[in-house]
Amino acid sequence: MDTFERQEIKYFVPVQLMVPLRKRFQQHMVHDPFCRDRQGCRYPVHSIYFDTRRYLFYHEKISGLKVRKKLRVRIYDPTGEDGIAFLEIKRKRENTVYKDRALVRADETPNLLNGAELHLPDSKNIKHVQTLNKFVYLIKSLALEPTTLIVYDREAFAGIEDSNFRVTFDVNFASRPNPAIETIYDLDDIKRANSDTFILELKFFRQIPIWARNILRDFKLKPESISKYCNGLDLWQLADREARLAE
């Protein structure tokens, strides 16, 4: 799906709840095909987020702006074997997410900034062409730059009765500021977040199934306003403050 609208709700969850939570969700869900055959049933996610020099998108989130957007380049294969990257324009209104996505050749993503042409694997896909053009337009008109590399491992589940209902466990969160686009595969100099929690995310179109609501209630989970992009930047800002205090 190249364009979609859905609801997203996120939770910080203590890692000691991961196993019992997984058992509960697996009564109604199965691992999605992208992680089913991988070690630990997890696949890596690498994303580079773009922002202005004054961090416009970051401050829109921090200030609680109800309508906002962000741009990112994302890959799911850090070995580079599939050679595919996703250009994503993600807009959010309250808990509703609207996302446009285009598939491009991963080795051409630096062309987003150097002005060279990008070639779509499916050049006849009008939605991909429109998203690519909009992505390039926003980069140029807002003078966007690669701001943060975000990496983590994802365990994903899809509902047995409703495959559009998805749950993800995101672990091993890490970030690096001011990355070059071509370093999206590079894990050198990344800073890892506190490993005491993981991010649980529910993704759905209309409403959360009653059985899932019961799980959230039984584990006393409360939704939180979580932005991986902002968390990645904050991780480095906290480290800088701690370094200055130690001097």
pLDDT at 3: 64
At 184, which CATH number? Answer: 3.20.100.30
Number of domains the chain contains: 1
pLDDT at 222: 96
Q: Are 104 and 121 in contact (CB under 8 A)?
A: yes
Query: Which residue pairs, CB below 8 angstroms and at least 24 apart, start in 240-247?
Result: none
Query: 78-100 b/e with 16+ CB inside 10 Å = b?
Result: eeeeeeebbbbbbebeeeeeebb
For residue 247, pLDDT beyond 60:
no
Sorting pLDDT into bands at 50, 70 and 90, what band is 2? low
29-43, 81-95, 131-145, 220-234: segment of lowest average pLDDT: 81-95
Structural domain range at position 40: 3-246
Across 193-206, average pLDDT = 92
pTM for this predicted structure = 0.90
CB atoms closer than 10 angstroms to residue 149? 26
Contacts of 213 (CB under 8 A, 6+ apart): none
Q: What percent of the chain has pLDDT over 90?
A: 62
Contacts of 64 (CB under 8 A, 6+ apart): 225
Sorting pLDDT into bands at 50, 70 and 90, what band is 242? very low
For residue 119, pLDDT beyond 80:
no
Alpha-carbon distance of 62 to 230, in angstroms, equals 8
